[in-house]
Amino acid sequence: MHDSLINSSFKYCECIAKGHYENFPVASFLIPKEKRKYIYAIYAYARAADDFADEPGIEGGNPKRLALLDEWHDKLKDCFKGKAYDPIFIALRQTVEDNRIPIEPLENLLKAFKQDVVKSRYKSFDEVADYCKNSANPVGRLVLMIFGSHDEKLFRYSDKICTALQLTNFWQDVEVDLQKDRVYLPEDDIRKFGYSYDELFAKKCDERFVKLMEFEVVRTKDLFEQGKKLIELASKDTNLKKLAKELKLIWLGGTKILEKLKGIKYDVFNKRPEVSTFDKIKIYAKSR
């Protein structure tokens, strides 16, 4: 394949990543320039699939969404057979070749997007954690592979951080997800604290809801702590040294959101906790 086509395909993916309101967390200036194009390719692949699953206005409803995701999966399989025509998959093909990336983590992302189409309630925390195995954990593993690591031990620590980040996003966005008739708070936990789905949709922030959220936040903090070892190991690894600071930034950003949740007394119905510019400056200073 001509270098000009590959380069233009990477540029296309970069435009998608930079043009979206949601900044891909590891595509910052701290990532070496030669690695960023691969991050952008992964992002563009996942962004398109996520839009099939989640963006409003797709005619045909859920059956159409699932059909689009199946088509995307077919393109992925073709990509691994050396057949790529879409610019996203041309860039992705080069990415998987250059970084020895297997198909499984990319397929797992699609499983999560499909799950979002058909499932909107979770009975137990184990169900939520299983979702995170497909929705969040593959991203961390893909980034490690882009930096030359295929170490299963590092993958396991990465999984802890990625699951914690996904959970943090769920607790941060309880109200946002309610608008989509989607609840990631486990039903078992909701009932454990004497709360209910009806009260959740009525946005009742009482003592029971606060205790429920406190419980989820403590569990999420524990996962962040279990994964923290990755930052230390990455800083000592020749291939991962340049990634270590970015990992620390991500870790600090995630735990800061949990602090913010506590700061608003878990009233996510009226305020979405976010990391301010000042917070980001302090986090960056801590990461140095």
- As for how many domains the chain has, the answer is 2
Distance (Å, whole) CA 65 – CA 52:
5
**Residue 21 shares a structural domain with residue 73:** yes
Domain closes at, from 118, 139, 157: 118
**Residue 276 shares a structural domain with residue 140:** yes
**Residue 141 shares a structural domain with residue 35:** no
For residue 149, the domain's CATH number is 1.10.600.10
Domain closes at, from 83, 118, 153: 118
Instruction: Please give the average pLDDT of every successive group of 10 residues along the chain, which has 288 residues.
Output: 88 88 50 91 95 84 94 97 95 97 98 96 98 96 96 97 96 95 98 98 98 98 98 93 90 94 96 71 57
**Residue 158 shares a structural domain with residue 106:** no
Record the pTM: 0.92
**Residue 63 shares a structural domain with residue 149:** no
Domain closes at, from 99, 118, 137: 118
**Residue 22 shares a structural domain with residue 126:** no
**Residue 144 shares a structural domain with residue 64:** no
**Residue 165 shares a structural domain with residue 251:** yes
Range of the domain at 82: 1-118
